[in-house]
Amino acid sequence: MTTAIEVRGISKQFKLYAEKQTSLKERVIKGGKMPYTPFWALKDINVDINQGETFGILGRNGCGKSTLLKCIAGILKPTDGEIRVRGSLAAMLELGAGFQPDLSGRDNIFLNGSLLGLSHAEIEKRYDDIVAFAELEEFIDNQVKFYSSGMYVRLGFAVAVNVEPDVLLVDEVLAVGDASFQRKCLDHVKRFQREGRTIVVVSHATDVIRQNCSRAMVMNHGRVITVDDPGESIRVFLADLLGVGTLEGSESGGIVGNVLAIGSVHAEHGGSGERLHLYPRESLTITADVDSLANVPNGMATIAIHDDKNELVFASDPDDPSYAVDIPKGGGIVRFHFPEVPLLDGTYSVSVGVRSATDTAIFDWKDQVTKFEVANPKRTTGRVDLPLDVTFRLRSANATGEVPAVGAEFSPLSLPGWEESTA
Amino acid sequence: MSLGIDEPAATGSEPERPTVIGGSTRFVPGQSNDRITIVNGKVQLGQRLIDLWRNRDLLILLTRTELKVKYKESVLGYAWSMLNPALVLGIYYAVFKIIARTQQPYFAIWLFCGLLAWNLFNNSAMGSTTVVVGKAGIIKKVAFPRELLAMSTVGVAMVLFTIQLVVLVVFLVAFQVTPAWSYLPLLPLALLALIVFTSAVSIFLSAVNVYLRDTQHLTEVLLMAWFWGTPIVYTWGQISQIVSTHPSIAWIKYLYLCNPVTPVVMTFQRAIYGKTSYIATKNNPGQAVTHVLPNWGVGQYAGLLGIVLVVGIGLFLLALIVFGRLEGNFAEEL
């Protein structure tokens, strides 16, 4: 398979100035040098994105995902490393970027198309399609500053998708516009996929990544945490976001040494009988064998539960000091006890880890080591067994004092005055 | 892993063509566009030049946009572009003809020739300092050869140049001034040399001003000095005369010729104004001849312009390298 984008050892350093001094006087006073703190927005990123693939990049705000996208697009230049892009590329970092409010829609189509790399002749060829797609036939000669924000975004999108690039970079722009417009955007993304184009999507909307991507990368602190199937990546991302075992790529994070290992993990329900599943609201006990080669002060056991769609259902509080314990050499058995599991039908997987309570070090993390199943004998549906009380206080019984019999048709419209208007 | 779409995967052969919403070029994996774009921290001069050429449509469009936006919704529109040079011309004419009583015939035409070339340089250099800073929105979101922004100010200045040139021709006809026909073919060369040099200066200034905002104010002051250091309002002949009476400052003449704008301005004056000397009629009992321009032949002018052009090309390439180095951090600095 051909690689569409090769990212080789990309690093990007930003200089953070305490206060930006741009005037000559200040520079002279400081002797030409300005004190700054180097900040590595990206550190040694390596990834290959294949042709025809839809590749997602997940990460929290400030993790460097947009910086990476800008580097691929050529908007920013990396401090170190090299990116090779095969074929034409269009970046949709912002819809309608570069629109001149004083110019007409027509002029802006040409300007924006040119900025995205089309020649005048090419834009002329696509002009009618763009206008039709943006649904702006009657307003195309109006100045863009009179457009509504929806029209503005439609025009921007219409130009960008009509560039028909081999590689399309999208930065969360799919999150704008109304529902029908988002549909249109997704239709386009799917058409691009069918045509074998490469798409790189940056988002923190996990469902966009899950539904559209063939692979996804998780980033944190300018480093790659994982490149995997979207489901697995989303799980890592959510675990990261929610603080279950901080999977930071920095030196302090990651699995540290071979001091401690989690052995077998069992799930057991508190109900009677030989059944393998538990009923909603039954107790659940997870036991994990922890083997330790040395004394581990301030260890903390963490647990996370995911449903069959890999969505995180529950993760234990990583900051609760009452979970911390000094683990002696030789280890022991960790027992996670849920007195009540208020879940409905489904198969749930359990991940167990031991981390340091004082810093971000993870001693061991067993991902989805065991599963348990919840079978609901009742007819409630959904995911969570919410406690529910239903009371029905009837609005004053009718004049005769009769209460409608159970099963009789109850109409909220049987109010005084209603009969007269229908009669 | 599933793509999450109900259609067969992209790599499979698929007879059903999706509804074509836009465009006509269809992407075929591995066959279509195999051009490889490399992004790294280095500045590849050749690649930059190729990119500039590929995006020449964009240059025209940016120039047109700049002009449209500049005079949009002003009643007089392009007339404003003439008002400033007309005023400058009028003031200098009044000061030198009426107050300083210069004897030079058709002094307005002389002024106009020099100002025509100078305005092209001046407008571009002034406009370029703020063009990159002013277009921060585009620069942060779209990748394109950003030098084109600086070059678009040259484009705008060229349009204004053309309008002024037309007015000058009208002046020539009205005052019945005959240009020096044999020197006219030098004008395209002079213009080319000026454009290349101006582009180099503009590209350099536009990038430097992103990091050092003093540049725009400094440029304003320097251009004022530069203007008076170029024989536009006064004549080359006056400089020569002063130098000949004070041989110790002969180097000034060479300093003048080191100014790349001087040969261009002088070519414009030589070709359009057409005279190298005149005999003042008033207060001139000895009928002394006053020289305004040297008695150089076409070849000498061409040689000087050639040097300016070569220097200009060198500076242009240098400016591209400087721009390329500084450009890497535009998106974060703006």
CB A365 within 8 A of CB A245: yes
Which CATH number fits the domain that encloses residue A281? 2.70.50.60
The residue-averaged pLDDT of B261-275 equals: 92
CA atoms within 13 Å, Cβ hemisphere of A91: 26
Does residue A185 share a domain with residue A280? no
Strands, E, within A195-248: which ranges?
198-202, 215-220, 223-228
The residue-averaged pLDDT of B118-131 equals: 93
Q: Burial letters for B10-48: b for 16+ Cβ neighbours within 10 Å, e otherwise? A: beeeeeeebeebbbeeebebeebeeeebebbeebeeeeb
Question: Is there a contact between B213 and A22 if contact means CB atoms under 8 Å apart?
Answer: yes
For residue A114, tell me if it sits in a domain.
Answer: yes
For residue A214, tell me if it sits in a domain.
Answer: yes
pLDDT for res A133: 82
Does residue A308 share a domain with residue A190? no
The 10s digit of each residue's pLDDT in A108-118 is: 899 888 888 78
pLDDT for res B191: 96
B32 or A62, greater pLDDT: A62
**For residue A225, what are its two tokens?**
């945490």
Question: Is there a contact between A164 and B22 if contact means CB atoms under 8 Å apart?
Answer: yes
Question: Is there a contact between B5 and A117 if contact means CB atoms under 8 Å apart?
Answer: no
Does residue A333 share a domain with residue A266? yes
For residue A392, tell me if it sits in a domain.
Answer: no
The residue-averaged pLDDT of B132-136 equals: 87
Strands, E, within A117-214: which ranges?
167-171, 198-202
Does residue A261 share a domain with residue A235? no
Of A52, A111, A125, Cβ closest to residue B10: A52
A202/chain B closest Cα distance in angstroms: 15
* Structural domain count of chain A: 2
The residue-averaged pLDDT of A168-181 equals: 70
d(CA A333, CA B150): 70
Residue B1: its chain A contacts at CB < 8 A? 214-215, 229-231
Of A87, A133, A163, Cβ closest to residue B32: A87
The 10s digit of each residue's pLDDT in B158-209 is: 999 999 999 999 989 998 888 989 999 999 999 999 999 999 999 999 999 9
pLDDT for res A392: 85
pLDDT for res B249: 81
Residue B332: its chain A contacts at CB < 8 A? 14, 76
A43/chain B closest Cα distance in angstroms: 14
Residue B24: its chain A contacts at CB < 8 A? 125-126
Q: Is B36 left (phi over 0), alpha (psi -120 to 50) or beta?
A: beta
- The last residue of one of the domains, among A347, A374, A401, is A374
Does residue A175 share a domain with residue A261? no
A175/chain B closest Cα distance in angstroms: 17
B309 or B97, greater pLDDT: B309
Of B40, B142, B218, Cβ closest to residue A82: B40
Q: Is the pLDDT of residue B22 over 80?
A: no
CB B128 within 8 A of CB B150: yes
Does residue A210 share a domain with residue A302? no
Cα Rg, chain B, nearest whole Å: 26
For residue A278, tell me if it sits in a domain.
Answer: yes
d(CA A163, CA A159): 7
The ipTM (two decimal places) reads 0.74
Give the nearest chain B residue to A166 (CA atoms). B27
B30 to chain A, any CB pair closer than 8 A? The answer is: yes
pLDDT for res A29: 64
For residue A390, tell me if it sits in a domain.
Answer: no
Instruction: Place B137 in a pLDDT band, splitting at 50, 70 and 90.
Output: confident
Q: How many CB atoms lie within 10 A of CB A419?
A: 10
In a mutagenesis test of the A interface, which of B142, B149, B214 is the best target, namely the one with the most A β-carbons within 10 Å?
Answer: B142
pTM (whole model) above 0.95: no
B61 to chain A, any CB pair closer than 8 A? The answer is: yes
Smallest Cα–Cα separation from B110: which of B270, B321, B320?
Answer: B270
Q: Among residues of chain A, what percentage have pLDDT more than 90? A: 4
pLDDT for res A34: 64
Of B28, B37, B61, Cβ closest to residue A114: B61
Does residue A311 share a domain with residue A229? no
Please state which of the ranges A237-241, B174-178, B226-230 shows the lowest mean pLDDT: A237-241
For residue A305, tell me if it sits in a domain.
Answer: yes
The 10s digit of each residue's pLDDT in A241-287 is: 655 443 333 333 345 566 788 888 888 887 776 666 788 888 888 98
Of B19, B28, B328, Cβ closest to residue A77: B328
The 10s digit of each residue's pLDDT in B250-266 is: 888 888 888 999 999 99
Instruction: Place A412 in a pLDDT band, splitting at 50, 70 and 90.
Output: very low
pLDDT for res A258: 67
B148 or A149, greater pLDDT: B148
The 10s digit of each residue's pLDDT in A20-41 is: 555 666 666 665 566 677 888 8
Residue A205: its chain B contacts at CB < 8 A? none
For residue A41, tell me if it sits in a domain.
Answer: yes
The 10s digit of each residue's pLDDT in A324-367 is: 888 888 888 889 999 988 888 778 888 888 888 877 777 888 87
Which CATH number fits the domain that encloses residue A201? 3.40.50.300
Question: Is there a contact between B69 and A100 if contact means CB atoms under 8 Å apart?
Answer: yes
In a mutagenesis test of the B interface, which of A30, A72, A75, A100 is the best target, namely the one with the most B β-carbons within 10 Å?
Answer: A75
Question: What residues 208-267 of chain B have any CB closer than 8 A to a CB of chain A?
Answer: 211-214, 218
Chains A & B: contacts with CB separation below 8 Å: 187
Does residue A292 share a domain with residue A258? yes
Give the nearest chain B residue to A74 (CA atoms). B143
For residue A399, tell me if it sits in a domain.
Answer: no
Residue A88: its chain B contacts at CB < 8 A? 33, 35
CB A350 within 8 A of CB A305: yes
Q: Is the pLDDT of residue B20 over 60?
A: no
Backbone angles phi, psi at B144, to 5 degrees: -160, 165
Question: What residues 72-101 of chain B have any CB closer than 8 A to a CB of chain A?
Answer: 72-73
Q: Give residue A282's domain range.
A: 254-374
Of A86, A116, A188, Cβ closest to residue B142: A116
Give the nearest chain A residue to B68 (CA atoms). A103
Give the nearest chain B residue to A164 (CA atoms). B23
Q: Is the pLDDT of residue A58 over 60?
A: yes
Of B18, B57, B143, Cβ closest to residue A194: B18
Does residue A282 share a domain with residue A227? no
